[in-house]
Amino acid sequence: MKFKAGIIFQSIFSVLLVPGSIFSQNPIVPAGIYIADPAAHVWEDGKIYVYGSRDESPDYYCSWDHHVLSSTDLRNWDITRNVFSSKGGQDQVPYSDRILYAPDCQYRDGTYYLYYCLASNEFTEGVATSKSPTGPFLNGINIELYGINEIDPAVFIDEEGQAYYIWGQFTAKMAKLKSNMTELDPSSITDSVLTEKEHFFHEGGYLVKRNGTYYFIFAHMGRANRPTCLGYATSEFPMGPYTYGGVIIDNDHSDPEVWNNHGSIVEFNGQWYVFYHRSTHGSNTMRKACVEPIYFNEDGSIDEVEMTSQGAGPPLDAFTHIGAERACLLFGNVRIEEFEENNEILTKISNDDKAVYKYINFEGGAERFKIRVKPGKQGGKVDLTIDQPWSRSIGSVDVPANTGWSILEGRISKVEGIHALWIRFYGEGEDILELDWISFEHE
Say yes or no to pLDDT of 286 above 60. Answer: yes
Same structural domain, 392 and 286: no
Q: What's the 3-state SS for 377-415?
A: CCCEEEEEEECCCCCCCCEEEEECCCCCCEEEEEEEEEE
Same structural domain, 380 and 249: no
| Residue at a domain's end among 294, 329, 351 | 294
335 domain-assigned: yes
331 domain-assigned: yes
305 domain-assigned: no
Same structural domain, 148 and 16: yes
> Measuring CA to CA, which residue among 3, 7, 56 is closest to residue 28?
3
What CATH number has the domain bearing residue 422? 2.60.120.260
Tens of pLDDT along 210-248?
999 999 999 999 999 999 999 999 999 999 999 999 999
Same structural domain, 352 and 215: no
- 24: pLDDT confidence band, cut at 50, 70 and 90? low
User: Phi, psi (5° rounding) for residue 186?
Assistant: -60, -25
| Number of folded domains that form the chain | 2
Tens of pLDDT along 131-174?
999 999 999 999 999 999 999 999 999 999 999 999 999 999 99
Same structural domain, 188 and 225: yes
What is the pLDDT averaged over residues 77-81?
95
Q: Are strands 34-42 and 48-55 parallel, antiparallel or unpaired?
A: antiparallel
For residue 224, give the amino acid letter: A
Same structural domain, 240 and 370: no
249 domain-assigned: yes
116 domain-assigned: yes
Same structural domain, 325 and 360: yes
Say yes or no to pLDDT of 428 above 90. Answer: yes
Q: Can you say how many angstroms the Cα of residue 435 is from the centroid of all Cα atoms in its chain?
A: 23
Same structural domain, 354 and 247: no
375 domain-assigned: yes
Say yes or no to pLDDT of 120 above 50. Answer: yes
Say yes or no to pLDDT of 32 above 80. Answer: yes
Whole-number pLDDT of residue 122: 86
Sorted by sequence, the CB contacts under 8 Å of residue 136 that are 6+ apart come out as: 10, 11, 13, 15, 82, 83, 84, 90, 92, 130
> What pTM value is reported for the model?
0.94
Whole-number pLDDT of residue 28: 96
Instruction: Write out the E strands in 72-109.
Output: 77-85, 104-108
User: Phi, psi (5° rounding) for residue 11?
Assistant: 60, -165
Same structural domain, 290 and 320: no
Instruction: Show the domain range for 148.
Output: 11-294
5 domain-assigned: no
Sorted by sequence, the CB contacts under 8 Å of residue 211 that are 6+ apart come out as: 300
User: Is residue 12 classed as helix, strand or coil in its secondary structure?
Assistant: helix
Q: Are strands 354-361 and 316-317 parallel, antiparallel or unpaired?
A: parallel
Do 241 and 188 form a contact (C-beta atoms < 8 A)?
no
Q: Can you say how many angstroms the Cα of residue 224 is from the centroid of all Cα atoms in its chain?
A: 20
Same structural domain, 138 and 282: yes
| Residue at a domain's end among 294, 324, 355 | 294
| Residue at a domain's end among 294, 329, 352 | 294
52 domain-assigned: yes
Same structural domain, 368 and 282: no
Say yes or no to pLDDT of 268 above 90. Answer: yes
> Measuring CA to CA, which residue among 272, 280, 207 is closest to residue 240?
207
Same structural domain, 339 and 286: no
Say yes or no to pLDDT of 439 above 70. Answer: yes
Say yes or no to pLDDT of 431 above 60. Answer: yes
